[in-house]
Chains A and B, each alone.
Chain A
Amino acid sequence: MLFNSYEFLIFLPIVFILYWFVFNKKLSVQNSLILVASYFFYGWWSWKFMGLLMASTMLDYFYGFWVASPERKKAKFFLWLSIINNLGILAVFKYYNFFAVQFQQGFESIGIQTNPLFLEVALPVGISFYTFHGMSYVFDIYRGSQKPIKSLIDYAVFVSFFPLLVAGPIERANHLLPQVQKRRIFNLAQAVIGCRLILWGIFKKIVIADNSAYFANEIFNNYEIYNGSAMFLGVLFFTIQIYGDFSGYSDIALGAAKLFGFDLLINFRFPYFSRDLGEFWKRWHISLSSWFRDYLYIPLGGSKEGKYKAIRNTFIIFLVSGFWHGASWNFIVWGFAHACGFLPLLLLNRSKQNTTDSIAQNSIFPSLRELFGLISTFLFVMFCWVFFRAPDLVISIDILSRIFSSSLFQLPNLKFDNTEVLQLFHLVISTVFLIFFEWMSRKTNSSVAFFNLIKLKWLRWLIYLLLIVFVIYFKGTPVEFIYFAF
């Protein structure tokens, strides 16, 4: 079931009413309903893969007990078994065919023909997210920051809670589990923020992302016929699309969770307002980057064991992060490009210089220095998205070479019909609206903080109405959430 579907529009209120009016007496009943609803939500997409989700949940639940063993050797053994288990699931369903192709091509390059077996199975939605949930639980127990929990239902809710099940945020056991284990009481302020987040998320997905996707797809799918400036616009459209798509999804997830009394981890904090790449990664897909920081970068030594190791570890997490997104060289190169972009900051000890405050902290507009940082970071991130969007490396390089050619300074050779011009007009209006309101919220952690700045109730309601009109009228052709593929 998709957040932007009519099915979800029916599903959410039904579960909400059942949750607060019928199943609200006891914690166990609340959690049981959440679990049933979550499995229903997942099964709506594919009931066949529910078995995999349940099996993964069960295994990590039991590993939790085994890893908690006071015998460190035994605990370590089960920790590794859990890692092999979780990564094994990912390896089979997500990466097997990629490795099979590399194996085949490697042998072909030395003249040996092979015929590896390829798996013809769809990627189970959310696999990268729920396996990482399970791993964080086991890791935290091994480190001693989390105790194994007795209730399988509570644990299953932590892994499968429907707002975060298929595309995150990637939750941490020590953040979400305490909430799962405590009976939720309805909170009006939280529910109102939840509704605002859902509306804002739907706007970002349906209006911003889906409309941008239309133009990005047109340009990327026919890149051979477009000049540098048109390709530049194509990449810009995708840059807007991926932000609207993923941060919109995260907002809906956070909002839906709030309606049920849960606070999920924030996944985005206005990443395109970053002044350097270090700041960007503190603001983009925060739950994933902090996951890699805590469970990979720091255990590898982080930045505390000298420059060389810090550089090595940085490259490792960016490459792994790239590979996490998909079984393709494109994602690895995307991660590598970001690592290279991050390197100067690391060498100059400036990787954390912009992580404590926000752009234009004490003013309305950024300083010239901040503006330069914002534009250069944005352009760097934007060009890196080419590897993310293009189908393969050859095409990515072709697209970049078209952009960085003299045709970049020509007029874009795009031809739009009247309907497309109108659609573009709507996209521009909506994007200006988005930028304005996100700029107003930039100093906060919430993408809907601007609503708190508006003290007049009628004005807030007018903005809600405007957003609904945008959603009804400016909606683009529906496109699947990008992160469903990961």
Chain B
Amino acid sequence: MRSFFKYLLTFSLVLCLFLWLATIISNQIYQLSLPKNSEISVLVLGDSHAQSGINIDSRVNNSLNLAASAESFYFCHQKLQYFIAKKVKVESVILAVGPHSLSKSLDSKWLFDELNFIEKLRSYWPLINVSSIGEYITNVHFSRRVYFELIPELLYQNFYTIERFVLLGKSPFIGGYTESENNNKIKLVPEVSDSINKKLTPEGAAISELQLFYLNKIVQLCNENRVKLIVVNTPLFNGTKLENLQKVKGDYEVFDYGDLFKNDTRLFADFVHLNGNGAEIFSDTLVNKLNLK
């Protein structure tokens, strides 16, 4: 029995060493994809609305779009905190907040879904403040399975990062402007659009306390570090404007472009995302408004 445990223990040590090595290599590769800026003039954060709608990197020096699809404000907050902790001077943050962002109905669908959380966490691992994970899991009331899955998922990410880098020469995706794939392919029917938007923003819909909690944290972090925060509602096909920001306390500006391209089928990839043309026009509008050129 002693020999068996000795055998198991030795092998476990070798395994840990091997996994640790993989983690080091993966982190080194990860560092390549992290921005090295010491100053960021505009940092864009948010979900797919900002990812497909704001192409600012090519327009403004030292600007960075790190928005990513299905991104909750928790991860936006983590990204911002990463730069502030690294003493990077961030002048302004553009945070995409749509009518759907604070809708409780989306909480369980993707914003605070266990699978989505784990996938995001493993992708952004080097950006995350580990102490925030416990608070997050407690707030969201995830099942105990999440605790079991965290370590294997993080190990998975290490191998994924290494394989992607070796085979494709790519470093991990942590966000960025991405032209919508559905460019001009979807026929927009206003009736369908209305029905979708009704689902997203039913009148008097319950507010997501979780999103609100992390949105307030972003505002607080910006205010404490004298970062100018601009909340932007990107154009929506049916022109829905922002509501429900009364509970967001602190200093921030709101640019509500919800109705900027209302019913203009040429500029949307679908009912809520701009296509390539729409993104270009909207980005120019935004840059002009901010006087950043």
Q: Which chain A residues have a beta carbon within 8 Å of chain B's beta carbons?
A: 6, 20, 186, 188, 191-192, 195, 422, 461, 464-465, 468-469, 472-473, 475
Q: Are A192 and B148 in contact (CB under 8 A)?
A: no
Chain B residues closer than 8 Å to A186, beta-carbon distance: 1, 4
Is B145 a contact partner of A191 (Cβ separation < 8 A)? no
Which range holds the interface residue count of chain B?
A: 10 to 19
Interchain CB contact under 8 A, A464 and B148: no
- In the complex, which residues of chain B have a beta carbon less than 8 angstroms from the beta carbon of A195? 8
B4: A residues at CB distance < 8 A:
186, 188, 191-192
Closest residue of chain B to A6 (Cβ to Cβ) is: B148
| B252 at interface by CB-CB < 8 Å | no
Q: Is the beta-carbon distance between A473 and B18 smaller than 8 angstroms?
A: no
Q: Can you pick out 29 interface pairs between chain A and chain B where the beta carbons lie within 8 Å of each other? A: A6-B145, A6-B148, A6-B149, A186-B1, A188-B1, A188-B3, A188-B4, A191-B4, A192-B7, A195-B8, A422-B163, A461-B11, A461-B14, A464-B11, A465-B14, A465-B15, A465-B18, A468-B15, A469-B159, A472-B152, A472-B155, A472-B156, A472-B159, A473-B155, A473-B156, A473-B159, A473-B160, A473-B163, A475-B156
Please indicate the chain A residues that have their CB under 8 angstroms from the CB of B149 in the complex.
6
Chain A residue nearest in CB terms to B153: A472
Interface class of chain A by DSSP: helix
Residues in A whose Cβ lies below 8 Å from that of B8: 195
> Which A residues are CB-close (under 8 A) to B163?
422, 473
Residue pairs across A and B with CB atoms within 8 Å: the count is 33
* Inter-chain pairs besides A6-B148, A472-B159, 19 sampled, C-beta below 8 Å: A6-B145, A6-B149, A186-B1, A186-B4, A188-B7, A191-B4, A192-B7, A195-B8, A422-B163, A461-B11, A461-B14, A464-B11, A465-B14, A465-B15, A465-B18, A472-B152, A472-B155, A473-B155, A473-B159
- Name the residue of chain B whose CB is nearest to the CB of A20: B1
For the complex, what is the distance from the CA of A6 to the CA of B143, rounded to whole Å?
A: 13
Residues of A within 8 Å of B160, CB to CB, are: 473
| Chain B residues with CB below 8 A from A192, complex form | 4, 7
- Chain B residues near A475 (CB-CB < 8 A): 156
Binary interface encoding of chain B residues 1-22 relative to chain A, with 1 for a CB under 8 A from any of its CBs, else 0: 1011001100100110010000
CB-CB < 8 A to B156: which residues of A?
472-473, 475
User: Which secondary structure dominates where chain B touches chain A?
Assistant: helix
CB neighbours (8 Å) of B11 from chain A are 461, 464
Residues of B within 8 A of A (CB): 1, 3-4, 7-8, 11, 14-15, 18, 145, 148-149, 152, 155-156, 159-160, 163
B16 smallest CB distance to A (angstroms): 11
The distance in angstroms between the C-alpha atoms of A292 and B160, with both chains bound, is: 47
CA of A475 to CA of B159, assembled, Å: 12
CB neighbours (8 Å) of A473 from chain B are 155-156, 159-160, 163
Please give me the 3 A-B residue pairs with the lowest Cβ-Cβ distance, nearest first: A473-B159, A6-B148, A472-B155
A461 and B18 alpha carbons, distance in the complex (Å): 11
Query: In the complex, A379 Cα to B152 Cα: how many Å?
Result: 37
**What A residues does B152 contact at CB under 8 A?**
472
> Within the complex, what minimum Cβ distance (angstroms) separates B203 from chain A?
37
Closest chain-A Cβ to B13's Cβ sits at a distance in Å of: 11
Closest to A7 in B: B148
Which residue of the partner chain B has the closest CB to A469? B159
Query: Cα distance A485–B7 when bound, in Å?
Result: 37
Provide the bound-state CA to CA distance between A464 and B148, in Å.
Answer: 22
Complex: A195 Cα to B152 Cα, angstroms: 20
A472 to chain B: which residues have CB within 8 Å? 152, 155-156, 159
Give chain B residues whose Cβ lies under 8 Å from the Cβ of A188.
Answer: 1, 3-4, 7
When distances are taken between beta carbons in the complex, the residues of chain B under 8 Å from A468 are 15
Please indicate the chain A residues that have their CB under 8 angstroms from the CB of B145 in the complex: 6
**How far, in whole Å, are A191 and B156 apart by their CA atoms in the complex?**
28
CA distance A186 to B1 in the complex (A): 7
CB neighbours of B155 from chain A (8 A): 472-473
A10, closest chain B residue (CB):
B148
Within the complex, what minimum Cβ distance (angstroms) separates B8 from chain A?
Answer: 8
Smallest Cβ-Cβ distance to B1: which chain A residue: A186
Q: How far is the CA of A468 from the CA of B8 in the complex (A)?
A: 14
User: Closest residue of chain B to A470, judged by CB?
Assistant: B159
Smallest Cβ distance from B155 to chain A, in angstroms? 5
- Tell me the smallest distance from the CB of A374 to a CB of chain B, in Å: 33
CA gap between A192 and B1 in the complex, in Å: 11
CB distance from B146 to the nearest CB of A (A): 11
Find chain A residues with CB under 8 A from B7 CB.
Answer: 188, 192
The CA of A20 and the CA of B1, in the complex, are separated in Å by 9
Q: What is the minimal beta-carbon distance from A381 to any residue of chain B, in angstroms?
A: 34
CA distance A331 to B155 in the complex (A): 41
CA distance A191 to B155 in the complex (A): 27
What A residues does B15 contact at CB under 8 A? 465, 468
B2 — nearest CB in chain A belongs to which residue? A188
| Nearest residue, chain B, Cβ from A21 | B1
Contacts of B159 in A (CB 8 A): 469, 472-473
